[in-house]
């Protein structure tokens, strides 16, 4: 079975086009700021003709504006109008923040375009009469893209962001189900004991980063930040791919990084990229026809996955407790594997589907959950 899905390709633009893109970004900012001003003026008029301008209204207002610009074309201007109107409607504000073209508070460059305006030309791409070359061009072979944009990152490099439609074949995974506990010591631990090591890239690089910032090497520091981000993303991709290729049903805890980010664990939390991992599991799972669920993490650390009594370590204070023995049934647990098993069991007891359209799983009666726990016990005994 083939399921179509949209993925965004990010391709780095070759540096020879940066000058043009930087100049085009200023024109984009001017158009955006015009939209901001025009819609604010229309919404706050003192006579009775106040109006909340839509994207369509803004397109009409900016019609013919191309003659004032040297680089961007009508399609880019229309895209800006529509995006501006959407953003303003979502923010429910009379006015949005200006896009700043120069100085320290400069907005990162953004040049949107419509799908038909970007054309292939041999090994290169053409937009508005300008030729662009990108790295890894072969990734665009044979794909159909939708409207996209050129976007600049904090280092100053430009990227071509193109949503493309891909069809992925959904298969059946070799193994049944897995529960994943997202944690701090290890970023993720599965009910089978597989671990994604904590992604402490930020911590490792911290002293280097501090040294760079002290010496005023802002650009190098930004580069290092970007490298850290990429390494973290890469490790998450590998782990989520392994999970999706191995298991048919994937159940993840709903741990909130926002709540823990306020504690003194903040740095480790922000470093571990839970949100990213969960998102990847969801879209990759959906693509491959897996069932991916997010369940409440409540009591998953405290409950014994064997007998269900709340005998485990509790709260942030006992975060140091890695191994414990249930006083009720005497089974010893690894903290994270135990909670991953609880997550797996609770995924079978409540049937909310995140990925949407597949049939909701059969509601398992509590008796079967106990069977599941017994299966867990055998596994524990086999391990010890």
Q: Which residues sit at the interface with Zn ion, rule CB under 5 A?
A: 304, 306-307, 326, 328-329
Provide φ and ψ at 80, rounded to 5°: -60, -45
For 254-278, give the DSSP string. Answer: ---HHHHTTSTTHHHHHHH-HHHHH
Shortest Å distance, C-beta 376 to Zn ion = 11
For Zn ion, the closer CB: 162 or 345: 345
For Zn ion, the closer CB: 64 or 366: 366
Buried b / exposed e across 235-267, counting CB within 10 Å, b at 16+?
bbeebbeebbebbbbbbbbebebeebeeeeeee
For Zn ion, the closer CB: 71 or 341: 341
Shortest Å distance, C-beta 208 to Zn ion = 46
For Zn ion, the closer CB: 284 or 373: 373
Shortest Å distance, C-beta 332 to Zn ion = 10
Shortest Å distance, C-beta 178 to Zn ion = 21
CB atoms within 10 A of CB 92: 6
Instruction: Give the whole-angstrom CA distance, residue 140 versus residue 145.
Output: 9
Provide φ and ψ at 292, rounded to 5°: -120, 130
For Zn ion, the closer CB: 286 or 380: 380
CB atoms within 10 A of CB 82: 18
Shortest Å distance, C-beta 303 to Zn ion = 8
Shortest Å distance, C-beta 304 to Zn ion = 3
Q: Which residues contact 238 (CB under 8 A, 6 or more apart)?
A: none
For Zn ion, the closer CB: 15 or 330: 330
């Amino acid at each position: 079975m083939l399921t179509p899905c949209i993925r965004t390709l990010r391709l780095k633009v070759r540096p020879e086009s940066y000058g043009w893109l930087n100049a085009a970004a200023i024109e984009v900012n001017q158009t955006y700021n015009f939209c901001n001003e025009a819609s604010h003026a229309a919404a706050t008029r003192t006579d009775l003709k106040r109006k909340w301008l839509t994207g369509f209204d803004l397109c009409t207002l900016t019609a013919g504006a191309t003659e004032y610009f040297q680089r961007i074309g009508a399609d880019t201007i229309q895209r800006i109008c529509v995006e501006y109107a959407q953003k303003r409607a979502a923010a429910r504000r009379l006015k949005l923040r200006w896009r700043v073209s120069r100085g320290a508070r400069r907005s990162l460059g953004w040049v949107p375009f419509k799908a038909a305006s970007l054309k292939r030309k041999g090994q290169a791409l053409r937009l508005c009469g300008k030729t662009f070359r990108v790295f890894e061009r072969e990734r665009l072979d044979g794909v159909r893209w939708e409207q996209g944009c050129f976007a600049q990152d904090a280092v100053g490099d430009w990227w071509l962001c193109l949503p493309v439609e891909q069809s992925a074949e959904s298969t059946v995974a070799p193994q049944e189900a897995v529960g994943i506990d997202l944690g701090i010591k290890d970023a993720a631990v599965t009910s089978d004991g597989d671990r994604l090591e904590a992604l402490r890239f930020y911590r490792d690089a911290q002293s280097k980063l501090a040294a760079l910032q002290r010496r005023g090497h802002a650009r190098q520091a930004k580069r290092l930040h970007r490298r850290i981000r990429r390494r973290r993303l890469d490790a998450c991709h590998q782990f989520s791919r392994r999970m999706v290729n191995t298991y048919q049903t994937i159940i993840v805890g709903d741990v909130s990084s926002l709540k823990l980010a306020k504690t003194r664990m903040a740095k480790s939390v922000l470093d571990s990229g839970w949100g990213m991992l969960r998102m990847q599991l969801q879209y990759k799972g959906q693509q491959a026809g897996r069932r991916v669920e997010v369940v409440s993490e409540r009591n998953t650390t405290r409950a014994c996955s064997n007998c269900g009594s709340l005998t485990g370590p509790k709260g942030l204070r006992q975060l140091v407790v890695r191994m414990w023995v249930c006083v009720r049934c005497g089974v010893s647990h690894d903290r994270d594997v135990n909670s991953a098993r609880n997550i797996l069991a609770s995924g079978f007891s409540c049937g909310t589907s995140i990925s949407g359209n597949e049939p909701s799983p059969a509601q398992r009666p509590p008796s079967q959950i106990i069977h599941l726990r017994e299966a867990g016990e055998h596994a524990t005994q086999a391990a010890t």
